[in-house]
Amino acid sequence: MYIFLYYFVKSYKNERIWWKELGVKVVKFGGSSVADGLQLVKVKEIIESDPERRYVVVSAPGKRFNEDSKITDLLFMCKAQAENNIPYEQLFQVVSDRYNAIRYNLDINVDLDEHFAEIMEQMEAGCSEDYIASRGEYLSAILIAAYLGYDFVDTKGLILFDKKGRLLAEETNEALSAELAKHDRAVIPGFYGSYKDSGEIKVLSRGGSDVTGSLVARAVNADIYENWTDVSGLLMADPRVVDNPKPIESISYMELRELSYMGASVLHEEAVFPVRLSDIPINIRNTNAPEDPGTIITTESNYDKNKVLSGIAGKHPFTVITIYKNMMNKEIGFVRRALAVLEDLDISFDHIPTGIDSLSVVIESSEIEDSLDEVIEAFNQRLHPDEITVVPDIALIAVVGKGLSNSIGVSAKITAALADAGINIRMLNQGATEINVIVGVEAKDFKAATRAIYNAFVS
């Protein structure tokens, strides 16, 4: 309804009231935010406190406490039991009891029994694992739509995959856009869609509701995509390594990608892509502390240029293989032949720092565990090096920040901090995108090195 699209905005500054076109916010609530009735009361308050929060993407109920089970895990277990001819009915009862408890607690007027019966029927008929796994989000969205008085919009037939299970991004965008235009306010299940050809349910990878939220945000051309979880955004370092790291107020998509790759996790890796295409910012928020501003993830153009460091993340173990050969830089095709060895043996590498007479390849140790001897042998045969050294157990620390490239003395600061802490640097590499510096240290020094670098940049 047209009237819905406008609301009063009051300006406290000049005490004027005017009409403002209603914006669109897509809000996604993760498993812990929808785990029980108490959490859902918070969710409702958050949504109702801002009329622009019109499209709500939900996960399946997650853990209520540490030892609790996620609904999605229970559903996967139901299927595994059925496959091994172990009765699964009791386990499914645990699932249905959790939804019913929420329904009774909040007095939600919706009949879930018909849905439970349908799911059991499909189980008897030998449904796919993806189908059963997706029912967590499906039931969650039906329940929450009834609780909020919003429409329920199923993603089956809207989020589309090709035969190989690859997301059809443009077709999905069109289908979602057309359907959501018919609904002023809707609750949408996360985590799944369907094959375009067969119409069968297909789930995304674990944590995939983040991706659904992003697809929905793009489809409705949202002003912002709010991702509500149980932490107040990203921190500048891992709190298990650095005491009380500062929160990150804003970060670019590219920086986030660097930090997530090196182990910082808060958002599904693929969730950035759809919103980045349309320049829609993501705001990570905390359902349990809605007053906290959280972290804004945005494009470079909107980004605060004065900040040097955004965050630090790291992982280990990596193996560094260094090939030494006199006059290597004059030997045409040397690097290509070295990389061809890795390609032929199907090994992916992370970095290739080079010197005049040496080339190092930095590889995640798990990637090369079984084929190290084979790789060395092939390097010897194809490159005829003077020497090859292998250093296992290296930790890489990514120091990430858009400001790093245009501030002087960044590397000096890092090396001085590590020298003061008595830590030996095995590698120092500035990424080509100039938003990160990668520091390699021995794995045993990982925590001390991270702390030293953090303290050097953050006062």
Q: Pairing relation of β-strands 25-29 and 224-229?
A: parallel
Q: Minimum Å distance from CB 213 to ligand ASP?
A: 9
Smaller CB separation from ligand ASP, 72 or 295: 72
Among 207, 213, 274, 385, binds ligand ASP (CB under 6 A): 207
Looking at residues 324 to 383 of the shown chain, list those that interact with ligand ASP (rule: CB under 6 A): none
Smaller CB separation from ligand ASP, 76 or 324: 76
Smaller CB separation from ligand ASP, 82 or 267: 267
Cα–Cα distances in angstroms (integers) from residue 447 to residues 395, 442, 455, in the given order: 10, 10, 12
Smaller CB separation from ligand ASP, 214 or 283: 214
Smaller CB separation from ligand ASP, 31 or 314: 31
Closest CA to 57 of 124, 135, 138, 122: 138
CA distance 189 to 403: 39
Q: Minimum Å distance from CB 69 to ligand ASP?
A: 11
Is residue 281 a contact residue for ligand ASP (CB under 6 A)? no
Q: Minimum Å distance from CB 15 to ligand ASP?
A: 44
Smaller CB separation from ligand ASP, 136 or 440: 136
Smaller CB separation from ligand ASP, 144 or 375: 144
Is residue 155 a contact residue for ligand ASP (CB under 6 A)? no
Burial of 252 (0-12, 13-18, 19+ CB in 10 A): buried
The stretch among 141-149, 203-211, 340-348, 385-393 that binds ligand ASP (CB under 6 A) is 203-211
Q: Minimum Å distance from CB 63 to ligand ASP?
A: 10
CA distance 403 to 35: 40
Among 7, 199, 206, 246, binds ligand ASP (CB under 6 A): 206
Smaller CB separation from ligand ASP, 215 or 323: 215
Among 24, 27, 29, 31, binds ligand ASP (CB under 6 A): 31
Q: Minimum Å distance from CB 77 to ligand ASP?
A: 13
Smaller CB separation from ligand ASP, 136 or 311: 136
Smaller CB separation from ligand ASP, 70 or 98: 70
Among 32, 33, 59, 194, binds ligand ASP (CB under 6 A): 59
CA torsion through residues 98, 104, 106, 111, sign:
positive
Is residue 209 a contact residue for ligand ASP (CB under 6 A)? yes
Looking at residues 60 to 89 of the shown chain, list those that interact with ligand ASP (rule: CB under 6 A): 60, 70, 72
Total residues in contact with ligand ASP, by rule CB under 6 A = 13
- Rounded (5°) CA angle 253-255-258: 110
Q: Per-residue x/- mask for ligand ASP, residues 121 to 140, rule CB under 6 A?
A: ---------------x----
Is residue 191 a contact residue for ligand ASP (CB under 6 A)? yes
Across the beta sheet with 160-161, the strand order is 160-161, 192-195, 201-203
The stretch among 201-209, 270-278, 304-312, 334-342 that binds ligand ASP (CB under 6 A) is 201-209
CA distance 440 to 437: 10
Q: Per-residue x/- mask for ligand ASP, residues 171 to 190, rule CB under 6 A?
A: -------------------x
- Radius of gyration of the chain, Cα coordinates, nearest whole angstrom: 26
Among 208, 233, 281, 385, binds ligand ASP (CB under 6 A): 208
The stretch among 95-103, 204-212, 428-436, 437-445 that binds ligand ASP (CB under 6 A) is 204-212
Smaller CB separation from ligand ASP, 136 or 294: 136
Find how far residue 374's CA is from the centre of its chain.
35
Question: Which residues, listed in sequence order, are joined to residue 124 by a DSSP beta bridge?
Answer: none
Give contact residues for ligand ASP (rule: CB under 6 A).
30-31, 59-60, 70, 72, 136, 190-191, 206-209
